[in-house]
Structure 1
Amino acid sequence: MSSARPPGLPIVDAMTPAVLVLTGPVTRGEVTGWCDDLRELLESSGAGVVVCDVGGLGPPGLGTVDLLARLQLTARRSGARIRLREPDPALPGLLDLIGLRFEMEGQPEQREPPLGVEEEVEPGEPAV
């Protein structure tokens, strides 16, 4: 007996993160609904990373911080993590001030040097 392969490239599909598009402004009552949506997305996709598109949230405030903190907690409880896409320029500073760390799309990981940075070579040292 043979089974048909599912459509698509399994390696690529497994590496493609799920996306949750957040819109705002966020009210306190909506936070639970967004967390439920994230939980359902994680269960249905099996993704280990969810990209939260926060471009539609508008100017950041305490409602945004509360939402993102709860989404991060929900993702971690499910064994996943979230990454922010298109944050307002003030959002990373606000999150840093509060002590919340989020991975932002398009930023190099902490262990990787930014592109274009080269190590200094001492005179007389052989090139590698």
Structure 2
Amino acid sequence: MSSATAPGLPHVDAVTPAVLVLPGPASPRELPRLCDEVRTLLRTTGAGVVVCDVGGLGPLGLAAVDLLARLELTARRAGGRIRLRDADPALRALLDLVGLRFESEGQLEQREPPRGVEEAVETGDPAV
């Protein structure tokens, strides 16, 4: 037995990502609580992403890198991932330096230029 499909676009239930605001300088004692919050947000919201607002994160050093790495590991183990919000350029540079890649809100994707678009050539440039 089959049923006819409804005309129009299918209904999509969009899930808004959960947001976790990270406190000012987070101490190592807070790490278990923050990891529990990530697991709880992923489980209760059904979202696959937890947005971590890092705008108020304390001094940017290896403690901040360790915190974010552990939260990402916790999220991955729970079937999700972390996205950063309001990340300072210095924090992104530090994460790149240690080899950790995080998606950031509002981050533009790097793409190839569209087909058929050529770079402009300045007069006087030697031909290659």
TM-score for both structures, normalised by structure 2: 0.75
Aligned length: 108
1:75 paired residue number: 75
Q: Is the 8 A contact 1:54 1:84 kept in 2?
A: yes
Q: Does 1:38 align with 2:64?
A: no
2:50 paired residue number: 50
**1:52-105 deviation digits (Å, cap 9, x = unpaired):** 100111331111111100010011111111110001220000000011010011
Give unmatched runs, 5+ long, in structure 1.
1-9, 123-128
Whole-Å separation in 2 of the counterparts to 1:101 and 1:71: 13
SS at match of 1:52: strand
2:3 paired residue number: none
Q: Is the 8 A contact 2:58 2:64 kept in 1?
A: no
Whole-Å separation in 2 of the counterparts to 1:113 and 1:20: 33
Whole-Å separation in 2 of the counterparts to 1:87 and 1:59: 13
1:108 paired residue number: 108
Larger radius of gyration: 2
Q: Is the 8 A contact 2:24 2:56 kept in 1?
A: yes
Whole-Å separation in 1 of the counterparts to 2:34 and 2:62: 16
Q: AA paired with 1:40? A: T
* 1:119 positional shift: 2.8
Aligned counterpart for 2:117 among listed residues 104, 116, 119: 119
CA RMSD, 1 decimal: 2.2
1:84 paired residue number: 84
Q: Structure 1 residues 109, 81: closer, same or farther in 2, change over 3 A?
A: farther
2:62 paired residue number: 62
TM-score for both structures, normalised by structure 1: 0.75
Q: AA paired with 1:98? A: V
